[in-house]
Amino acid sequence: MSLLIFVREKKRFLQEEGLVVTFSSFIKGSNYGFFFFTVPRKLNGMKHFHEVHIINKRKGVDHVKVLFSFLFFFFLVNDTAGAPMASHAPAGLRIKEMARPNPDEFMQFDPIKRAEQQKIAYLTFDDGPSTNTRAVLDILDRYKIKATFFVMGHEEPYAMKGYEEIKRRGHVVALHCFTHDYSVIYRSKDAYLNDLNQLEAFLKKNFDLSSKLVRLPGGSRNITTRQASTQHVVPGIINELSKKGYVYYDWNVDSKDGDSPFVSEQAIIRNVLKGTVNQEHAVILLHDINSMKNTVKALPEIIEGLKAQGFAFDSIHEYSPQVQFK
């Protein structure tokens, strides 16, 4: 109890300094605990670590040196001591409640019937290019696999090279978003389309790239778009995308590498290979972000595991099965 009081006092102090503390519970084996970190107050409510990291970077905040260096405090309590401490966490801030929606609950899946009935895995990478892009591409080349990169509008030198490398090595460059700021993108249908148009103009001008393949930030159902004030926005976005000839893709296998910076290599592998067991066409969500080295480390074993399950690999094209949340 004294530790919990300390955490609350620390939260009060940080809020007085103009910061906000976000709590999450976690489970490790049979233990429970908390960790907290600071982010700018205006970003409170962001769902995932990678979303806060992206916006911090775009606003010039060095997450390694400043606020996102994680005022890292956590403790473990063995569950044999009674009710888990995680039960004291405020409602709505538990990892289970903050996680991405479970695709199995609302999946529309219309698989294309190929003559050989081959199981197909689609490796998709969101949020890049990053400093990890070249390593990801090297692994894909080693296995002679083509993937799909739902990119953002990054202008750093390493990112500019990343777009060129993705294109040069024959992978699909698809559209994600320019800013990844939910509070901006999902303000209205027009706000989303303005962001998408900005990304399209950036890719066309700098790399002569264009695409009609889209993935909405957070997927077509996420914590922001399910709120009462914004739940009407996504249907309008989807309708407009359809009228303009775009095809949007969600996923039916989530690696969960974007849930936290602490997701281990083995957890990422396990999440993917468990998620693909009953899939004929697996659209796999991964992330291409500077901080996510474990995704790169996990990739070879993911590929080997998928091959062992009988999957071939392909990038997403117009003929690909559409995997969309209901």
126 is catalytic: yes
Q: Spell out a b/e string for 246-264, using b for 16 or more CB atoms within 10 Å of the CB, else e.
A: bbbbbbbbbbbbbbbbebe
Q: Which residue has the higher pLDDT, 189 or 40?
A: 189
- Give the pLDDT mean for 6-32: 37
- Give the pLDDT mean for 257-275: 95
Write down the pLDDT at residue 324: 95
Cβ 61 vs Cβ 40: under 8 Å = yes
Write down the pLDDT at residue 30: 35
Beta-strand relationship, 119-126 and 281-287 = parallel
Write down the pLDDT at residue 152: 98
| Structure tokens given for 138 | 């090297």
Residue 48: pLDDT over 60: no
CA gap 280, 116 in Å, rounded: 12
Confidence at 313, pLDDT banded by 50, 70, 90: very high
Q: Which residue has the higher pLDDT, 20 or 279?
A: 279
Write down the pLDDT at residue 60: 54
In the chain the domains, ranked by start, together with CATH numbers, are: 2-98 (no CATH), 103-325 (3.20.20.370)
Which candidate in 48, 50, 63, 126 is catalytic? 126
Secondary element (H or E) of residue 248: strand 247-248
- Give the pLDDT mean for 274-280: 96
For a pLDDT cut of 70, what percent of the chain falls above it? 64
Write down the pLDDT at residue 117: 75
CA angle 175, 177, 178 (to 5 degrees): 120
Q: What is the pLDDT of residues 122-139, one digit of tens each?
A: 999 999 999 999 999 999
Q: Give the three-class secondary structure for 13.
A: helix
Among 17-26, 60-69, 155-164, 253-262, the range of highest mean pLDDT: 155-164
CA gap 26, 34 in Å, rounded: 6
Which candidate in 195, 254, 287, 314 is catalytic? 287
Average confidence score pLDDT of the chain:
76
287 is catalytic: yes
Write down the pLDDT at residue 225: 74
CA gap 305, 323 in Å, rounded: 22
- pTM for the model stands at 0.70
Confidence at 319, pLDDT banded by 50, 70, 90: confident
Residue 155: pLDDT over 60: yes
Provide the β-strand partners of residue 19: 40
- Give the pLDDT mean for 292-307: 98
